[in-house]
Amino acid sequence: MSGSRLWKALSVIWCDVRNFVRTRVGDGMTTEFWRDSWIVGIDPLIAYVLERLVASLEYVSVAAMTDGNGNWLWHKFEHLLPLNIHLRIAAAGCPMVGFAADAECWKGIVQGNFTVKSAYIIRCGPTVPDDGKLWKTLNKYRGLQRIKIFLWLVCLERVMTNSERVRRHISDNAGCSLCGALIEYVNHLLRWCSQAIGIWTSLIKPDFLHQFLTMNIKEWVYLNITDAARMANHPEDWDLLFGSICWNLWLERNAVVFDNPLDDRGTVLERSRRLQQQYLLASSSAAPSRTWERRNGAAGSSNNDVQRLLAEGWFQANADAGCRLADGSAKCGGVIRSHDGRWVQGVAKFIGICSVLEAELWGAFTILHAAWGLGITRIVIELDCLEAVRMIKLASLPPGSPTILFHLRELLSRPWCVEVFHIDREKNRLAHDLAKLASGPSLCPIYFLYPPVPNYYSEYAITIG
């Protein structure tokens, strides 16, 4: 039998290829609800069934489990699947008559396009550890430059501790000069030395202290900069205090090792708190307008196009979303305001379990759906997720587009005027705070006819008129 070398090679590994192909659901007519892989991140639903399927349900399409108008017929299948799968189905978006036909796409990349790189990673695994988030986080660290560089060296384990000095034949003493331990290396200096442990014990939540002291050094630095509420007793500006403590522990150690006492005789914690406060004072005095911009919920957006449309009487919407790292559960929220900043309506919704990008698209859909229900005909919507803005504005959708994007496109095609813009995350804080008010497992949106935040206008620096 004749055929190209490519297809002959593919035929040999077709079972492997098939395992990494999923179905992108549009109208749901040709996708089997139970046996096809159509929800990102999990196996076909038949793998999670709690009891034997009746013959009439075993080979039904996804469309057969909906009412055709974008609503799931939950009574047909919810008793057959566990709650976590319910949440994934809810977040996947319901197909609807009139959407594009179902299509197959590649699992290895979010957009659904096949790439040789993604296939190689699936087949062989990544060739290097994925530390991209860590280095990006360090690059954006808001503390002093010398502390940023020091934390970078800590993550690389290139700090010139006594053990490192011995390795480089600079010294013959690898012990800790502060507590007398036999070997001084980065983990010991910053976490396990008696002086360091005393500081961390007073600042870290007791139930998290063991994990704080034993986790990988890179994860340790990353979580302290990005997730202070998880571990610190007082998380406000913890990233600055954490970096200052690490830096002052290093200075204290150098003062002892090189017999060069510090001019400041305060404790490590006292010096660190002063350094934290000095940085906050300097940053606030250097840019007095930045505090207002950070607190502004986007009513004062610097985008000239947005300002022009608001001046013409358009309404303004902001949306945001987020996912918990622990279980993938997602929430979204948003606010609609008049052109002069007056509150019109807020909304918060528990989405289910999905990716961050899907959650951001749900946020845009939820707030625009609320605006349509209010009879608004001209509205500007601002999102802080650039990838979501790009996907909404694409002329044609990529193969792996989530079903919620079809719902969003259908909403945008209705007879009204909608303009979509990107906004800095700091200017989208109001939508972010509203998203936090959503709670599961109820999937029904919560609507706020009045600001749910005390001192709303002063808290978010909203100006009327």
What residue ranges do the domains of the chain occupy?
21-106, 132-286, 296-459
Q: Cα(169)–Cα(288) distance, rounded to whole angstroms?
A: 50
Closest among 176, 159, 147 to 257, alpha carbons compared: 176
Residue 145 has pLDDT above 70, yes or no: yes
Q: In whole numbers, what is the pLDDT of the chain averaged over residues?
A: 86
Q: Please report which confidence band the pLDDT of residue 3 belongs to, taking 50, 70 and 90 as the band edges.
A: low
Q: What pTM did the predictor assign?
A: 0.63
| Omega within 30 of 0 (cis) for the link into 415 | no
| Tokens of residue 247, six digits | 């830096």
pLDDT digits (tens, 9 = 90+) for 266-285: 899 999 999 999 888 887 66
Cα 211 to its chain centre, rounded Å, is 22
The stretches of 131-267 forming alpha helices (DSSP H) are 132-139, 145-156, 162-167, 186-187, 194-203, 209-214, 217-226, 228-231, 238-257
Q: Please report which confidence band the pLDDT of residue 287 belongs to, taking 50, 70 and 90 as the band edges.
A: very low
Dmax over Cα atoms in the chain, in whole Å? 85
Higher local confidence (pLDDT), 104 or 110: 104
**Residue 44, burial from CB neighbour count under 10 angstroms (0-12, 13-18, 19+):** middle
pLDDT digits (tens, 9 = 90+) for 163-172: 999 999 999 9
Residue 258 has pLDDT above 70, yes or no: yes
Pair 402, 442: CB distance under 8 Å: no
Q: Cα(371)–Cα(375) distance, rounded to whole angstroms?
A: 7
> What's 300-312 look like in SS3?
CCCCHHHHHHHHC
Q: Please report which confidence band the pLDDT of residue 109 belongs to, taking 50, 70 and 90 as the band edges.
A: low
Angle at CA 68, nearest 5°, toward 360 and 38? 55
pLDDT at 128: 44
Q: Please report which confidence band the pLDDT of residue 286 belongs to, taking 50, 70 and 90 as the band edges.
A: low
| Tokens of residue 142, six digits | 């808001």
Pair 127, 53: CB distance under 8 Å: no
Q: Domain 296-459 in CATH: superfamily?
A: Ribonuclease H-like superfamily/Ribonuclease H (3.30.420.10)
Q: Please report which confidence band the pLDDT of residue 456 belongs to, taking 50, 70 and 90 as the band edges.
A: low
Residue partners of 98: CB distance under 8 A and separation at least 6: 27, 410
Residue 120 has pLDDT above 70, yes or no: yes
Closest among 254, 238, 246, 234 to 271, alpha carbons compared: 246
Q: Cα(42)–Cα(273) distance, rounded to whole angstroms?
A: 46
| Tokens of residue 166, six digits | 């011995």
Alpha-carbon torsion (112, 113, 117, 123), positive or negative: positive
Q: How many residues does the chain have?
A: 465
pLDDT at 129: 47
